[in-house]
Amino acid sequence: MRDSASGEPLIRVRDLRFRYEDGTAALDGVSFDLYPGETVAILGPNGSGKTTFVLHLNGLLRGDGEVIVCGLRLEKRNLEEIRRRVGLLFQDPDEQLFMPTVVEDVAFALLCRGVAPAEAEKKARAVLARVGLEGAATRPPYHLSAGEKRRATLAAVLAAEPDILVLDEPTTYLDPPAQRELLTLLASLPQAKIIVTHDTEFAEAIARRAVFFQRGRIIAEGSVAELRRLYGWTARPARGDTTAPEGAQPGSPR
C-alpha cells in the first residue's frame, strides 16, 4: 500500500492515548506509521479524534504513548527540530494567522530560522503567488475571506519547507478550481503527507492509503475506495437514491 516503501518510518506512533482537561478521552490507543514519500488520508466521523491526533505530531498536544518523528522522540528537547520537520496546517485558519500582514505570516517561520528578512519576504511572496494570493501580501489576515485565509495558511506551511506535511481539512473554504490547484500542487511536492479530510474525492485523488478513525481509535486501513465502501463514507446519495446508504450514519460502521 505504500507509495514508496523504504526504510524506517518518518513518523511512528504507538498506543497513543489522550484525554482533554475536561475528561474527554479523545485518543484511545492509536498506532500509526508514515513512510517516506507516501500520502495517507485520515478519514472518520466528526469528533473521532483526527485533529487531536495530528496536533500530537508536532507536540502541540502531549498524550501517553510513543511518538517518534524523523527518529526524534517527541520530548521537550526535540520540539524545535520536530516543528521544523513537520508542517502542520490547522483545521481553523484563524488559529494560524497572527501577524499584521499576510506576507509577514508566511515569512514568519523563515525569519525564526534566521533567513534574512529580504530573502524571507521574497520567498513568502513567491509561495503566495503559488496559492493565488499574490495580491493580498500586504493585507491584514483578518480582512481576508475564509478561502483566502486557507490559502494564506497553506502558503505559510509550504514556505517553511518542512519534511512532512500534515494538513487538517486543507480543502475547506476553497472553491473548486482552488481545490484542483491544491491537488496539483500537493502532488508535485516530494514530502510525505498526512491529509485529514471529509472530502473522499480529494482523498482518493491524492492518497493510496487511508486510515479510518472512530472514537479515538484507528478501526480500519485500506484504500480510500475500500473505506468508502466499508463505511458508506460518501456525502451524496447515488443519483435517484434519496436514502442514505445502509450504515452510513457517522460513527456506526457496518
Ligand X SMILES: Nc1ncnc2c1ncn2[C@@H]1O[C@H](COP(=O)(O)OP(=O)(O)OP(=O)(O)O)[C@@H](O)[C@H]1O
The binding site for ligand X (CB under 6 A) comprises 20, 22, 24, 26, 44, 46-52, 91, 213
Query: Could you say which of Mg ion, ligand X, none residue 245 binds, taking C-beta under 5 to 8 angstroms by partner kind?
Result: none
Three-class SS of the chain: CCCCCCCCCCEEEEEEEEECCCCCEEEEEEEEEECCCCEEEEECCCCCCHHHHHHHCCCCCCCEEEEEECCEECCHHHHHHHHHHEEEECCCHHHCCCCCCHHHHHHHHHHHCCCCHHHHHHHHHHHHHHCCCHHHCCCCHHHCCHHHHHHHHHHHHHHCCCCEEEEECCCCCCCHHHHHHHHHHHHHCCCEEEEECCCHHHHHHHCCEEEEEECCEEEEEECHHHHHHHHCCCCCCCCCCCCCCCCCCCCCCC
197 binds Mg ion (CB under 5 A): no
47 vs 65 by CB, closer to ligand X: 47
- Show the site string, 85-114: x = touches Mg ion by CB under 5 A, - = not: ------x-----------------------
Minimum distance, C-beta of residue 74 to ligand X, in the bound complex (Å) = 17
Minimum distance, C-beta of residue 174 to ligand X, in the bound complex (Å) = 16
78 vs 91 by CB, closer to Mg ion: 91
Query: Could you say which of ligand X, Mg ion, none residue 49 binds, taking C-beta under 5 to 8 angstroms by partner kind?
Result: ligand X
24 vs 138 by CB, closer to ligand X: 24
Q: Hey, which residues between 40 and 79 contact Mg ion (CB under 5 A)?
A: 50-51
Q: What b/e readout covers 11-47, taking b as 16+ CB neighbours within 10 angstroms?
A: bbbeebebeeeeeeebbeebebebbbebbbbbbbbeb
Minimum distance, C-beta of residue 139 to ligand X, in the bound complex (Å) = 28
Residue 235, all three cell numbers? 456525502
Minimum distance, C-beta of residue 49 to ligand X, in the bound complex (Å) = 5
44 vs 93 by CB, closer to ligand X: 44
115 vs 219 by CB, closer to ligand X: 219
Closest residue to Mg ion using C-beta atoms: 51
50 vs 85 by CB, closer to Mg ion: 50
Minimum distance, C-beta of residue 91 to ligand X, in the bound complex (Å) = 6
- β 209-214/192-196 pair status: unpaired
Picking from 36, 54, 13, the residue whose alpha carbon sits closest to that of residue 197 is 54
Minimum distance, C-beta of residue 49 to Mg ion, in the bound complex (Å) = 8
Query: Could you say which of ligand X, Mg ion, none residue 47 binds, taking C-beta under 5 to 8 angstroms by partner kind?
Result: ligand X
Count residues near Mg ion (CB under 5 A). 3
Minimum distance, C-beta of residue 207 to ligand X, in the bound complex (Å) = 17
Q: Where does this chain bind Mg ion (CB under 5 A)?
A: 50-51, 91
